[in-house]
Amino acid sequence: MPDRPKLAVIGLGTMGAPMAQHLQASGYQTLGVDPDPGAADRFAGAVAPEVTDLSDADVIVTMLPEGRHVQEAYETTILPAAPPGAMLIECSTIDVETARSLNALATAKGFAQVDAPVSGGPEAAGNGGLSLMVGGTGQDVARARPVLQVLGSRITHFGAPGSGQAAKACHNMICGITAMAVLEGFALAEAMGLDPAQFHRLCAGAAAQSWTLENRCPVPGVVPDAPASNGYAPGFAARLMAKDLRLAQAASASSGQPTPFGAEAARVFTEFANATGGALDFSSLYSELRKTGGT
């Protein structure tokens, strides 16, 4: 693979667009692919899948909503058109079984492929600060690493194909459970008449400190840059939190390991997303907790 391979990013949503922008700004010739006509506003030069030419793409990154979307992209857009031996990097958050299936499908066609889901949000996607959880053979991960190192500041190779998605499922379950604790903790504090800013300062310097506390404080005005202080604009949408927690429950079921707290977080966020559309940041669940006095 050349020192500066030609890249294609398929999926120019909340995460894919800033990833494509960062790759382009880092000196890579980058093609953006998305069926949404508005994608051109998020990434200059975006094209629709039906007019995509992947024939000279050395590396193809996918960042799509669900496993079925990635499967469709592989079957209809990538595998028929990518040049022999291209490197495929799957960055979406999908179920482990689909990740393994995609790897088998790609390698059977002669492509190198890794699963590399990410954590860090749109800001990290735009500045190369993502954390990537990687699954694949050592040879394929080594080939993908130059591009992965542009996208992320922390790259962890967990093992065989699918293990990156397994790590992401476990990671996101912890995030969801922690989110529930933070949201309920602040709801209880406010119900008991505590000052939210004082309570936040206490937790930030004590054992309750967490990424969610620091970045997703659910009370408007306490943390100026938090979604709560900006009308709960995501951020990380509640429907995506619900999806990720359901993926963790699928992993729980397939492995036989019970995760009761994860199951409850999946239930609550799924019901909330279904009831509201889930477009606002996941911390918007706080408003529902305060309105109803519970879940």
Tell me the catalytic residues.
168
Question: What whole-number distance in Å separates Cα of residue 210 and Cα of residue 225?
Answer: 16
Residue written as token pair 């949404």 = 36
Question: What whole-number distance in Å separates Cα of residue 266 and Cα of residue 261?
Answer: 9
Three-state secondary structure call for residue 142: helix
Q: Alpha carbon of 184 to those of 220, 236, 265, 285: distances in Å?
A: 15, 18, 12, 9
> Do the Cβ atoms of 136 and 113 come closer than 8 Å?
yes
Residue written as token pair 């030069």 = 45
CA 59 to chain centroid: 20
